[in-house]
């Protein structure tokens, strides 16, 4: 009997931004990937509307940042929260440049952004994209997982299940298959639900002519009708209206009601096109385990959050980046499978920060009681719109366990687990470019002390085998030059001799003195479980 099973290094379930990012990163590293997407055609309507500076760096590393910037806008102004009288309650600065070297926020329309990603996927010979394939089961085994699926076919606007397809065997499966994830059910994980959920009526508009809007984003904190007015990408605008409990959703979710609600802003069927209307329930929950055996989950399959901080999709892409660099080491035989346990460890804590920050913002706007709203206004007006004065204290958006350098007491010290900056460098006298444009990804050892004296041959070989550039700021004849002095300034500000940056752009840790550099690298390679003999 002929075995018709197809074989891949990784099967990705779901072709949204998270799934395609994971697939592209893995294929870049030489691994074969199949993407299984249940919808026969791309979803044509807007959803997410913004990517941050960290995601921009990911797009840079994928080689698609220019195309992404071409379908986005970064000059949208600040993010203002005003009460019913128009008084400023909170201002969130989204105009500054992120440490990654890109804008803090770039506004886009998701269908256009996904098209850019699909084009990149189509150009990657190691990726097989399979639209119209419904995964019906994933069975984990000792050496990988078997994916069972059926074809999807359209019939008069409906989607029906077609015949079963040949099994797919993958060494690992990444479930980026959304909030109702099948892969998550196979991991058999519990979830934490913070019970913060509200229904919102979302209206996306395309004005016929360019016009001035309230600067950046606007949150209308009116207890009589909380609303959001935000950019929806070039040439688009989005409104979101809070629906109170008991609202008849069927009566609200109509074209007439959408036009009635945006009429206050001078938007009518005569001067704009209604692109989409939908009712969404915003939730705040996350899975406890994001990996088990040869299965992993990412994006909405692992967590859901309110949209107020704009971190839903961005968190999903962080998941993909974290999972991809670790899967690469495991698939290559450089690290043991246990390395993947740090994926949940690191990403779950980080995403909980994003969820709690989103809730803190949502708690401001989702107030419909006039007395409670008046008390909120009094408290926030006293803070003069400054976030640090009006929002509750929150933990840093970082992780304190996983692949990070620890102190003697087992704890961590900044900047370990924090996002590292990106500056321009020149190599061999060539014109200055952003670091990742030169080296492909953020991973590097950056030292203010001469590495010739403080890095052993064995550890040098380890890093070079991983493809990590060695940035020696003390060597005047070095081929890598810190053109702007940004990396030297960073080391001085941290008060350290060297930093080691991971492939996902986060600091592993620092060497406090030149004599500590070799120990820094040895600690990193030991935590990865690297064996010198198998390092390429």
Which domains, ranges and CATH numbers included, belong to the chain?
A: 6-49+109-188+288-345 (3.50.50.60), 418-528 (3.40.30.120)
Per-residue buried b or exposed e for 427-458, using 16+ beta carbons within 10 Å of the residue's own CB: eeeeeeebbbbebbbbbbbbbbbebeebbeee
Mean pLDDT of the chain: 92
Low-confidence winner among 209-218, 417-426, 448-457 (lowest mean pLDDT): 209-218
Q: Is the pLDDT of residue 76 over 80?
A: no
- Residue carrying the six token digits 């071409």: 70
Confidence (pTM): 0.94
Phi-psi region of 253 (alpha: psi -120 to 50; beta: other; left: phi over 0): beta
Q: Give the span between the Cα atoms of 187 and 123, in whole angstroms.
A: 32
Low-confidence winner among 37-41, 157-161, 473-477 (lowest mean pLDDT): 157-161
Q: Is the pLDDT of residue 289 over 80?
A: yes
Task: Write out the DSSP string of 464-504.
Answer: HHHT--EEETT-TT-SEEETTSHHHHHHHHHT-SEEEE-TT
pLDDT tens, position by position, 160-169: 666 678 899 9
Q: Give the span between the Cα atoms of 82 and 68, in whole angstroms.
A: 31
451-456: average pLDDT: 94
Low-confidence winner among 107-116, 205-214, 319-328, 424-433 (lowest mean pLDDT): 205-214
| Whether the Cβ atoms of residue 528 and residue 335 lie closer than 8 Å to each other | yes
Percent of the chain with pLDDT over 70: 95
Beta bridge partners of 35: 12, 129
Which residue, among 68, 53, 61, has the nearest Cα to 26 in the 3D structure?
A: 61
């Amino acid at each position: 009997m002929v075995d018709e099973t197809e074989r891949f290094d990784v099967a990705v379930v779901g072709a949204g931004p998270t799934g395609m990012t994971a697939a592209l990163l893995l294929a870049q590293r030489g691994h074969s990937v199949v993407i299984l997407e249940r919808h026969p055609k791309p979803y044509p309507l807007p959803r997410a509307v913004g990517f941050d500076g960290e995601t921009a760096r990911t797009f840079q590393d994928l080689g698609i940042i220019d195309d992404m910037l071409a379908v986005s806008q970064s000059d949208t102004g600040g993010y203002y929260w005003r009460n019913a009288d128009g008084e400023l309650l909170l201002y969130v600065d989204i105009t500054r440049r992120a440490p990654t070297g890109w804008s803090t926020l770039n506004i886009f329309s998701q269908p256009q952004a996904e098209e850019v990603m699909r084009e990149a996927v189509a150009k990657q010979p190691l990726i097989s994209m399979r639209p119209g394939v419904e995964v019906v089961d994933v069975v984990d085994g000792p050496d990988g997982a078997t994916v069972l699926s059926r074809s999807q076919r359209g019939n008069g606007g409906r989607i029906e299940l077609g015949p079963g397809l040949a099994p797919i065997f993958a060494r690992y499966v990444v479930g980026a298959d959304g909030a109702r994830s099948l892969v998550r059910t196979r991991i058999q994980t519990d979830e934490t639900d913070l019970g913060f959920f509200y229904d919102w009526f979302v209206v996306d508009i395309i004005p016929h002519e360019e016009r001035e809007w309230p600067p950046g984003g606007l949150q209308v904190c009116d207890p009589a009708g909380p609303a959001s007015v935000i950019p929806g990408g070039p040439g688009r605008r989005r409104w979101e209206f809070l629906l109170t409990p008991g609202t008849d959703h069927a009566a609200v979710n109509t074209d007439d009601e959408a036009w009635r609600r945006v009429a206050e802003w001078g938007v009518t069927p005569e001067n704009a096109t209604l692109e989409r209307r939908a009712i969404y329930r915003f939730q705040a929950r996350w899975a406890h385990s994001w990996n088990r055996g040869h299965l992993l989950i990412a994006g909405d399959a692992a967590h859901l959050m309110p949209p107020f901080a704009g971190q839903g999709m961005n968190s999903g892409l962080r998941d993909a980046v974290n999972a991809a660099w670790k899967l690469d080491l495991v698939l290559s035989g450089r690290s043991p499978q246990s390395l993947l346990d740090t994926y949940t460890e690191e990403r779950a804590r980080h995403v909980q920060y994003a969820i709690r920050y989103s809730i803190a913002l949502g708690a401001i706007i989702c107030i419909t009681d006039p007395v409670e709203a008046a008390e909120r206004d009094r408290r926030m007006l006293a803070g003069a719109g400054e976030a640090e004065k009006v929002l509750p204290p929150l933990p840093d958006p970082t992780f304190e366990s996983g692949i990070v350098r620890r102190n003697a007491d087992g704890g961590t010290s900044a900047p370990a687990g924090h996002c590292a900056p990106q500056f321009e460098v020149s190599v061999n006298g060539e014109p200055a470019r952003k670091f990742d444009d030169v080296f492909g990804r953020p991973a590097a050892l950056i030292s203010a002390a001469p590495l010739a004296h403080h890095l052993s041959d064995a550890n040098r070989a380890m890093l070079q085998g991983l493809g990590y550039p060695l940035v020696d700021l003390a060597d005047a004849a070095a081929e890598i030059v810190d053109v702007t002095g940004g990396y030297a300034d960073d080391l001085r500000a941290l008060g350290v001799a060297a930093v080691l940056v991971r492939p996902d752009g986060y600091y592993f840790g620092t060497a406090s003195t030149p004599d500590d550099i070799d120990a820094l690298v040895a600690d990193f390679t030991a935590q990865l479980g690297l064996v010198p003999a198998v390092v390429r």
